[in-house]
Copies of this chain bind each other. A is one copy, B any other.
Amino acid sequence: MSGVEDLARAVEAVLFAAEHPLGIEELRAHVGAQADVRAALRTLEQLYAGRGIELVRRGDQWHFQTAADLAHLLRRDREDSRKLSRAGVETLAIIAYHEPVTRAEIEAIRGVQISKGTIDVLMEAGWVRPAGRREVPGRPLTYATTSAFLSHFGLASRRDLPGIDDLRAAGLLDPVDLAVEQETSETVTQDE
């Protein structure tokens, strides 16, 4: 192996192990004060051209880095399977049975407020989508299920949701005005 190639090897190893980009003088401190470090760097530049690792010059300092076009390989996605919370399942059920439905309506039906993240999780899962605004004061957003929802739960359509007809026959799916609901429920309680 020639002198230049030996030197290129040395510079290569020093740059690889370095914690920071190195200048010519720093490189010389490792590989020899008389060394033609620039020639070695040129050799390395050619050697690494187009490879997965590139020799990069920043000002008068040199370092190796992974080729910019391969940066996307350095991150990878991992899927963790997670179980939907009880609030999530209930919210999803309400949306599926009542869609399109506003957040206030979901809360009225559940009888509990839903936290901000609950609908976000359902949207992240790809099961719920915004479905336009309701033309009432405040123009609240409504939500509906997606086709991914149907396929995940093995349904051909929302009509396949078991029991939906029975529930409707029982009057459980009738839209209920919030204010009326409050009053009537109180009256009923007094009567009983």
Contacts and interface: CB of A to CB of B under 8 A. Distances in A.
Interface of A: 1, 8-14, 16-17, 29-31, 50-53, 64, 66-67, 70, 73-74, 76, 78
B76 A13 contact: no
B64 A29 contact: no
A73 B14 contact: yes
Contact of A16 (B11, B30, B52): B52
Number of copies: 2
A148 B169 CA distance: 60
Contact of A52 (B9, B67, B76): B9
Nearest to A9: B52
B76 A16 contact: no
Given A52-B8, A52-B9, A66 B29 contact: no
A66 B30 CA distance: 14
A51 B9 contact: yes
Contact of A13 (B8, B10, B67): B67
Given A17-B66, A66-B17, A12 B76 contact: no
The 9 closest A-B pairs by CB, nearest first: A12-B52, A13-B52, A9-B52, A13-B70, A13-B66, A30-B73, A17-B74, A16-B53, A17-B66
7 contacts: A8-B52, A9-B70, A10-B73, A13-B66, A14-B74, A16-B66, A17-B74
